[in-house]
Amino acid sequence: MAGSAAHPDMLARRQDQARRMRMVATGMLVAMAALFFVARHYLPVHPAWGYALAFAEAAMVGGLADWFAVTALFRHPLGIPIPHTAIIPQKKDRIADTMAEFLRTNFLTPQVVARRMRSMNIAHAIGKFLAEPKAGDESRISSGAAALFADVLESLDQEKLGGQVRTGLSHQLEKLEISPLLGQMLQTAIADRRHLPLIDSIIRWAGLVLEDNEELVRSMIHDRANALLRWTGLDEKVANSVLDGLYKLLAEVLVDPDHPLRAKVEEGLDKLARDLVEDAELRGKVEGFKNELLANPALANWWLGVWERIRAGLIRMARNPDTSLSGQLGGSLKDLGARLRDDAALQAQVNRFARRTAVGLSSRHGGQIVQLVSETVKGWDASTVSGRIEGAVGRDLQFIRINGTLVGGLVGVTIHAVDSLL
C-alpha cells in the first residue's frame, strides 16, 4: 500500500527535520550564553569584548523571547501554566471551526470552484496520461494519484458503494424518458444507413436458429399432417420444401439489398422509431417496462456484480498501470487519450461536464465536507493537534528562534556601538 505508507513516512521525516532544527536553535542559545560569560570575564582585557558581550546578551534575550513565543503556541513553557500559552491545544475547537469556515468560504463555493475549473484543462491532462502514460516526471505524480485512487476504492464498503451508485443511476434513469431517446437514435441510425448491419445480423441469426431447430420444424409438420400424408411419406417432403424455402428466402434477403422483405423490415423500423417519439401509448408502455426493470431485485443483484467487476478492474489498473495499458484495452484507451489530447471540441465538452459536476458537488455537499473537516479536528486530542501542526511547520518555527537570536545580537551590537560613540 504505497499510498497509505507515504503519509506516515513524510510526517516522520518532517518531525525529524523539526527536531534537528530545534537542537540547532537551542545550541545557538547555549553558545550565546557561553559567549556571554567568556566576554564578561575578558571585558577588562580589551574594549572589543564589550561588543561581544553586547551581542551575546541581546542574542540571549532575543532567542529566549522567540523560544517562549514558539513554545507557547504548542505547550506551556517549562510546564508552567502561564496564561495565554499552549494556545493551539486550548483553542483546538475554534481552530477546527475556523479551518472549516476558511475552506467553505475560499475553496468550496460554486463560484470559486467554477473559476478554478475554468482555468483547468482536465480533458487534455487525462488524454495526455492515457496517450503517453510514461511522459516524463508526470509519471511519478500519476502513479501516486493512481495508488491513492486504488486505496480509496479498497477502503470503501463494496456493497454500500455499489448500492449508492446503483441508486444514483436508478434515480437518473427514472427521471429520463427513454422512449423518445430510443426513437431519435433509431431514426438517426436509419437516416445514416447504420441499421443495415443490424438487419444482416438478424437474418444470419434467424438462419442459425432455423438450422438448430430443423428437427422441431419437421416434428411440427409431421404432427399436423393427416394420416395419408404420413403414410405416403409426403410429410417429410413438405417439411424439406418448407425448410428449403425458408433457407432460400433468408439467403435472398441477405444478398439482395432491394429485396421486398428487407424493405418491409425497414418500413417497420421507421414506423417503430416514429411511434417511440409520437405515440403516447407506446411511450407509456416503454416507461412502464423501464420502471419494472429498475424495480426488479434481479437487476440490483446483477448491477452489484457488474460494479464489483468494474471496481476490481479499476483497482488492478491503478495498481499496475503499465500492464493495464497494454493489449487491446490499452490500445483503445490510448486512442481515446489521443482524441482527448488533440480534439479541442471534445475537450470543451468534457471540461464543461467536469466543471458542472464539480460545481454541483460543491453546492450540494460542500457543507458536509467542511463539517467533516471540523469534526475530524475536534475529535483529535490536544497532543495530536499540536504534534501534527508542529510536525508540519516546526522546522520553520525553529528558524524564527535562530533569526531571533541573530537579530537580537545584531541589535545589541548596534546599541552598544551607538552608546560607545556618544
pLDDT of 123-174, one tens digit each?
788 777 777 765 544 455 455 555 655 665 665 556 655 666 666 666 666 7
| Whether the predicted model's global pTM rises above the 0.85 cut | no
**From CA 238, how far away is CA 11, in angstroms rounded?**
86
Give yes or no for residue 395 having a pLDDT over 60.
Answer: yes
- Segment 181-185 shows an average pLDDT of 82
| Phi-psi map region of 101: left, alpha, beta (phi>0 left; psi -120 to 50 alpha) | alpha
Set of cell numbers at residue 16: 525529524
Residues 339-377 pLDDT 10s: 878 888 888 888 887 777 777 777 776 777 777 777 777
Helices assigned H by DSSP within 43-91:
48-74, 87-90
Least trusted range by pLDDT, from 16-25, 209-218, 319-328: 319-328
State the Cα–Cα distance between residues 41 and 267, nearest whole angstrom.
113
Q: Which tops the pLDDT comparison, 45 or 156?
A: 45
Q: 78's torsion region: left (phi>0), alpha (psi -120 to 50) or beta?
A: left
Cβ proximity of 28 and 402 under 8 Å:
yes
Question: Of 1, 3, 317, nearest to 145 (Cα)?
Answer: 3
> What residues contact 159, with CB distance under 8 A and at least 6 apart?
304
Residue 6 pLDDT level (bands cut at 50, 70, 90): very low
64-68, 179-183, 292-296 — which is least confidently predicted? 292-296
Burial of residue 160 (number of CB atoms within 10 Å: 0-12, 13-18, 19+): exposed
Check whether 234 has a pLDDT greater than 80: no
Cell 532567542: give the residue: 63
Instruction: Sort residue 77 into left (φ over 0), alpha (ψ -120 to 50) or beta.
Output: beta
CA proximity to 303, closest of 177, 161, 179: 161
At 177, is the secondary structure helix, strand, or coil? Answer: coil
40 vs 3, higher pLDDT: 40
pLDDT at 5: 42
- Cβ contacts of 10-18, under 8 Å, gap ≥ 24: 11/388, 11/391, 14/391, 14/392, 14/394, 14/395, 15/387, 15/391, 15/394, 17/394, 17/395, 18/390, 18/391, 18/394, 18/395, 18/397, 18/398
Give the chain's mean pLDDT: 75
What band does 183 get if pLDDT is binned at 50, 70 and 90? confident
31 band by pLDDT with thresholds 50, 70 and 90? very high
- Rounded to 5°, the CA angle 291-296-299 comes to 105
The candidate with the shortest Cα–Cα distance to 312, out of 188, 109, 156, 81, is: 156
Query: Closest Cα partner for 86 from 73, 102, 99, 96?
Result: 73
Domain ranges of the chain: 2-93+381-421
Name the residue with higher pLDDT: 326 or 82: 82
Residue pair 409/55 in contact by the 8 Å Cβ criterion: yes
pLDDT classification of 30: cutoffs 50, 70, 90: very high
Question: CA 59, 61, 62, 64 torsion: positive or negative?
Answer: positive
Is 91 in a helix, a strand, or coil? Answer: coil
